[in-house]
Structure 1
């Protein structure tokens, strides 16, 4: 006979260890808040900056070679940033679905989300740093954003790997 909280040899299901934290409370509340804030922030960014940059007058001013604001990096940078923002809105929604369904794949996807977000932010920074007019306007916000994301990765990736709450919650 098997006691609750122990694993049956050969059984691939993981069981919750009794008297240990589980569920979406504790630090998982911050993960949820962060995902919702990311969705709202990215949607605001898309509507306030991305969509307007594709209006013909702005797009042409930035991407036509005879324009004074032209730089060959504007087109790839704007397209990359637009696609990345839309993908991360969808990715955040996908993570929330996995989170609330308590899927065992959530921690791996969340780690992938944080790492990919950091890599995309670095690529975006490099693209934007190669636009001459932006070099004079950069106020260090991009490097601060990268620094914040590095700190987030340093906190949340180990949390998803080592947390008993995460282990006990995402078992299905």
Structure 2
């Protein structure tokens, strides 16, 4: 009879720690906002570099702002932002579908972002006219959530019980 009580208690715990609740609500808010942030970032780069003849000014060897790595760096940043929009939308869909792939894709998304930021820092450090302080800030702002939420996604009972499809 006491064995049944233990089983019933375990079942109650599993039911309690299932679904998009608890700490997953906070993570979900970030997941919903992330594609919007990525789209805004992509638009900002596009507007700053590709509108009103700015591209030719930035990439012309006769321009004062010209640097040989500026064009490939801008293209890299624009391309990586598009990739991040796609990844963040993928994470969003997997989250609400409660896919078993969500935790790994979320962690991969952050690892890819950190890799892109590290490459961007290396490229921008070669161009004297580009300040890189903001890039270092972005890098650390992404390492911290990866460490916290990545650990949560790996260890949480709620995550294990929710993302099973």
Q: TM-score range by the shorter chain?
A: 0.7 to 0.9
Residues in 2 aligned to 1:69 and 1:50: alpha-carbon distance in whole angstroms: 18
1:76-121 C-alpha deviation (Å, 9 max, x unpaired) = 1111111111111111111111111111111111111111111111
- SS of the aligned residue for 2:53 comes to helix
1:19 equivalent in alignment to 2:13: yes
In the alignment, what sits opposite 2:122?
126
In the alignment, what sits opposite 1:67?
63
1:81-92 matches, within 5 Å, as 81-92=77-88
1:101-153 C-alpha deviation (Å, 9 max, x unpaired) = 1111111111111111111111112112211111xx44x22211111111111
Residues in 1 aligned to 2:74 and 2:103: alpha-carbon distance in whole angstroms: 31
In the alignment, what sits opposite 1:110?
106
Q: 1:17 to 1:164 in 2, by over 3 A?
A: farther
Which of 85, 88, 95 does residue 91 from structure 2 map onto? 95
* Total equivalences in the alignment: 156
Which of 138, 141, 150 does residue 145 from structure 1 map onto? 138
With 57-66 and 44-53 compared, the bigger mean Cα shift is at 44-53
With 63-72 and 43-52 compared, the bigger mean Cα shift is at 43-52
Is the Cα contact below 8 Å between 2:46 and 2:78 reproduced in 1?
yes
With 112-121 and 54-63 compared, the bigger mean Cα shift is at 54-63
Structure 1, unpaired ranges of 5+: 7-15
Residues in 2 aligned to 1:88 and 1:18: alpha-carbon distance in whole angstroms: 39
Residues in 2 aligned to 1:74 and 1:42: alpha-carbon distance in whole angstroms: 21
Structure 2, unpaired ranges of 5+: none
TM-score, length basis structure 1:
0.83
Q: 1:42 to 1:70 in 2, by over 3 A?
A: same
Is the Cα contact below 8 Å between 1:39 and 1:93 reproduced in 2?
yes
Moved over 4 A (4+): none
Residues in 2 aligned to 1:79 and 1:86: alpha-carbon distance in whole angstroms: 11
- SS of the aligned residue for 1:133 comes to coil
What is the Cα-based RMSD across aligned positions, in Å? 2.0
Residues in 2 aligned to 1:43 and 1:18: alpha-carbon distance in whole angstroms: 41
With 27-36 and 75-84 compared, the bigger mean Cα shift is at 27-36
| Structure with the largest fraction of helix | 2
